[in-house]
Structure 1
Amino acid sequence: MVASQSAKQGATGARMRRGLLGVSLLGAVSLLFTGLTSTPTLAQNAALKALIEQQQRVEWRDQFDNTMRSLQAVESSSPTLSPDTATYVETAIQRYSAIVQNGGWPQVTSGRRAMRLGAREDNVISLRRRLMVSGDLEQTAGMSDTFDSYVDAAVRRFQIRHGLTPDGVVGKSTLDAMNVPAVVRLSQLETNMVRLRSMSGFLGDRYVMVNIPAAEIEAVENGRVRSRHTAVVGKIDRQTPILNSKIYELNFNPYWTVPVSIIRKDLIPKMNEDPQYLEKNRIRIFDWKGNELAWQQIDWGTDEATKFQFRQEPGEINSLGSVRINFHNKHQVYLHDTPSKSLFGSDYRFHSSGCVRVQNVRELITWLLESTTPDWNRARVDETIRSGVREDVRLKAQIPLYLAYVTGWATAEGVVHFRDDIYDRDGLALDGAGTAVSAYQ
């Protein structure tokens, strides 16, 4: 009801602004033509053109405000693993089946420069057709070759649905996503419906879900998403595992014990390049009896280093950041903060060695603690991190955690989301005719 009233007030305000501007425009034109004999014609035309352009800018701003409000509706408060998500995907499958039967959508090309607001070129026409077929652009938007505010809003909507930065610019990432054939998207939905059905039971009153292909985390409480967090997950060759577990402990200002795989793949090569690497990164070496060693005592030309323990001290450059979130698993992975916050702003967030880095981790850990360990609140979380002192906190009630792999899903609002099959787990490929086939056949 509040949203409806707000929308009505916004529409009324827009009409009033246009009405007042129209009155002032007519008044200005009347004044211009009253003095025809004393005012040069060129000056009159220039003034009239300026007023018309001002009115167009105000109208465009009103339209843009409305479209941006509609973009906010793309994000749903329902969790990805909602019991109803599989039903929404069924509806999306019917819709995408019809798209495929009607020939799919056109391929979109771009010139040397990415298309954006204000561009005028023939490629905008195919862009409009593509966005109309997928429902991102209204069918009544026309086939102009101008990249106007309607196309801009439609591109942003498409980008949000595909996990891309919604900047309205049709660059390489957006173009690649647009040119994935409709038949592949349909197959993604069919594959993911099976996954979603297998996880459509009761997952807990409060739980955390990491969607690996989306590189996104949901904190869910009583069937609604309490908060969403951008994530960085495992590289293609160091994948984040798919599993169900429970979060049981938080480590504030943690040490980082370097896993053997990283010692072998990363640390040894870096020490061969720069013998000061350990010192620069505050990493100390210990044998398994707790005795500290100097880096000169190890033969870096072999795998000898894998026989020792490498531990990074707490602090600003610690790879785990300010907090580590532990859950039961055999893969030696966990959720954690990171000093490399810039990676959260990238469309491609597959950079870790299997662990999951969490943006705005303080909000997540405060939520984890607030009902299970009530003597903790945000102020205490902030103070503990600020102190730099090591502290371990076991949750009084463990929180379910799901590391899931969902590349296509739909919401109650009819919005269909897709993500890249980064680990090639959908089992889809294209045959010579461009038809999606299962790699498992």
Structure 2
Amino acid sequence: MTGLWMAGLAAVGGVDLAVAQPAPVQALLQQQQRIEWRDQFDTTMRSLQAMESSFPTLSPDTASHVEHAIQRYSAIVQQGGWPMVTSSRKAMKLGVREEHVVSLRRRLMASGDLEQTAGLSDTFDSYVDAGVRRFQLRHGLSPDGVVGKSTLVALNVPADVRLSQLETNLVRLRSMSGFLGDRYVMVNIPAAEIEAVENGRVRSRHTAVVGKIDRQTPILNSSIYELNFNPYWTVPVSIIRKDLIPKMNEDPAYLDKNRIRIFDWKGNELAWQQIDWSTDEATQYQFRQEPGEINSLGSVRINFHNTHQVYLHDTPSKSLFGSDYRFHSSGCVRVQNVRELITWLLSSTTPDWDRARVDETIRAGTREDVKLKSKIPIYMAYVTAWATAEGVVHFREDIYNRDGLLMSEATAGINLQ
């Protein structure tokens, strides 16, 4: 595997494995070993683990790492880029034998995901499987080794587009290359990922769910100042209008089922029958969801100053964290393993709070607000391409089309039945 890694370095500055995604790697490690890959599986897993990094996405050196990646991707473009990959089936995977595997091998070799000496067989063998997994990890996809629709789209983004992505993000990264704080939280919106950084090292990474395309999570810099345990959720006006009113017209019992109460702005409670749901009258009132297991904010809300009325929070919808596509919210950011993050937030600023107290407070189900004794910076950034100190290169989908390089499925070469 050392030879494979060095070949990747020579091609594009390294293959971006699980450097910023320990969760997919851990899932892969727990996966049952396949009989066809028994000889190579342990070696590959050790290689993936060895590539995990504690360096943050935003660091004083990230811009220089991207500059090196630009040089290497420029060379790939000058050499003609990489071939398109097509398939006659819904997915290519281990054991498949067809002519399209040859173009897949060429594609993986061009980006350094597959050793240059791996050959051009038409069999999807264990080496191709490993190369696909590496490619998937560095593009934010589930590392299942299966070339399905999402992986095929990513494979067929042209090299010159990837180069333009690196150049575009270099400008963004340079603007954030200064000192960000001894301790800070960074939300990378296109990656749907959160990093808790302390003294230049990542203490924990968290999968996130961020805003839909039509309800985008904003780019901002702020400071975390408060945690709300077992919070109420006050429904924003935009959600009352777009979601709650239509749902009440479909099912008048919706509020009762979801433990949502209605108040006027003097604190008087109203019954749902007092509102004309055929109009926007409901937007004139306050809708508040009670704390509990079905509360949309889950067990905790993390507050920071901003004009967009967004925040970080837990969620009862944990299954969304397992998806490659995690753009489902109305602008706020949902956090996987939120207890680890809030324990870290409290650890140095409010030391009388430890994990045991966090767990007990959530278990008790009682409302409690905790002000941090020292505010912690938070950066909500939009980075679709970056490189690491290890020389590995990450790409993510330009979900909000801020790179100006939006790819359609047609131009991406989709040819799946």
Report the TM-score when normalising by structure 1: 0.84
Question: Does residue 314 of structure 1 match 2:291?
Answer: yes
2:124 corresponds, among 147, 155, 169, to 147
State the match for 2:213 in structure 1: 236
Question: Does residue 186 of structure 1 match 2:172?
Answer: no
State the match for 1:113 in structure 2: 90
- How far is the alpha carbon of 1:198 from its aligned partner? 0.4
Residue correspondences, number: 378
State the match for 1:197 in structure 2: 174
Question: Does residue 251 of structure 1 match 2:228?
Answer: yes
| Cα-to-partner distance string for 1:345-398 (whole Å, 9 max, x where unaligned) | 000000000000000000000000010000000000000000000000000000
The one-letter code sitting in structure 1 at the alignment partner of 2:405 is L
State the match for 1:167 in structure 2: 144
Q: Distance in 1 between matches of 2:93 and 2:389?
A: 30
| Cα-to-partner distance string for 1:298-353 (whole Å, 9 max, x where unaligned) | 00011100000000000000000000000000111000000000000000000000
Matched position secondary structure for 1:139: coil
What is the 5 A alignment of 1:27-426?
A: 60-426=37-403
Matched position secondary structure for 2:347: helix
Change in Cα spacing, 1:113 to 1:202, as seen in structure 2 (3 Å) is same
- How far is the alpha carbon of 1:73 from its aligned partner? 3.7
Q: Distance in 2 between matches of 1:73 and 1:106?
A: 30
Q: Distance in 2 between matches of 1:96 and 1:319?
A: 43
The one-letter code sitting in structure 2 at the alignment partner of 1:110 is S
| Cα-to-partner distance string for 1:417-441 (whole Å, 9 max, x where unaligned) | 000000011122579xx8xxxxxxx
- When the two chains are superposed, the root-mean-square deviation of aligned CA atoms in Å is 1.7
Contact 1:218 1:227 in 2 (8 A): yes
Q: Distance in 2 between matches of 1:75 and 1:350?
A: 25
- How far is the alpha carbon of 1:58 from its aligned partner? 8.8
- How far is the alpha carbon of 1:74 from its aligned partner? 4.1
Q: Distance in 2 between matches of 1:110 and 1:230?
A: 31
- Runs of at least 4 residues of structure 1 off by over 4 A? 57-60
Change in Cα spacing, 1:60 to 1:306, as seen in structure 2 (3 Å) is closer
Q: Distance in 2 between matches of 1:163 and 1:142?
A: 27
Contact 1:74 1:160 in 2 (8 A): no
Q: Distance in 2 between matches of 1:330 and 1:412?
A: 35
- Name structure 1 gaps, 5 residues minimum: 5-56, 435-441
Contact 1:97 1:186 in 2 (8 A): yes
Q: Distance in 2 between matches of 1:273 and 1:264?
A: 14
Higher relative contact order (CA 8 A, sep 6+): 2
State the match for 1:52 in structure 2: none
| Cα-to-partner distance string for 1:219-241 (whole Å, 9 max, x where unaligned) | 00000000000000000000000
Change in Cα spacing, 1:376 to 1:384, as seen in structure 2 (3 Å) is same
Q: Distance in 2 between matches of 1:268 and 1:113?
A: 39
The one-letter code sitting in structure 1 at the alignment partner of 2:353 is W
Matched position secondary structure for 2:178: coil
Q: Distance in 1 between matches of 2:186 and 2:293?
A: 27
Report the TM-score when normalising by structure 2: 0.88
Change in Cα spacing, 1:142 to 1:398, as seen in structure 2 (3 Å) is same
| Cα-to-partner distance string for 1:71-118 (whole Å, 9 max, x where unaligned) | 234432100001111101001000000111111000001122311111
Matched position secondary structure for 2:117: helix
Q: Distance in 1 between matches of 2:394 and 2:313?
A: 26
The one-letter code sitting in structure 1 at the alignment partner of 2:283 is T
Contact 1:206 1:221 in 2 (8 A): yes
The one-letter code sitting in structure 2 at the alignment partner of 1:252 is F
Q: Distance in 2 between matches of 1:399 and 1:284?
A: 33
The one-letter code sitting in structure 2 at the alignment partner of 1:171 is G
- Name structure 2 gaps, 5 residues minimum: 3-33, 412-417
Give 1 or 2 for the bigger CA radius of gyration. Answer: 1
Q: Distance in 2 between matches of 1:207 and 1:107?
A: 41
Q: Distance in 1 between matches of 2:390 and 2:333?
A: 29
Q: Distance in 2 between matches of 1:107 and 1:328?
A: 46
- How far is the alpha carbon of 1:67 from its aligned partner? 1.6
Q: What is the percentage of aligned positions where both structures have the same residue?
A: 87
Q: Distance in 1 between matches of 2:347 and 2:324?
A: 32
| Cα-to-partner distance string for 1:23-73 (whole Å, 9 max, x where unaligned) | xxxxxxxxxxxxxxxxxxxxxxxxxxxxxxxxxx99952322112222234
- How far is the alpha carbon of 1:200 from its aligned partner? 0.5
Matched position secondary structure for 2:301: strand
The one-letter code sitting in structure 1 at the alignment partner of 2:61 is D
The one-letter code sitting in structure 2 at the alignment partner of 1:363 is E
Contact 2:36 2:126 in 1 (8 A): no
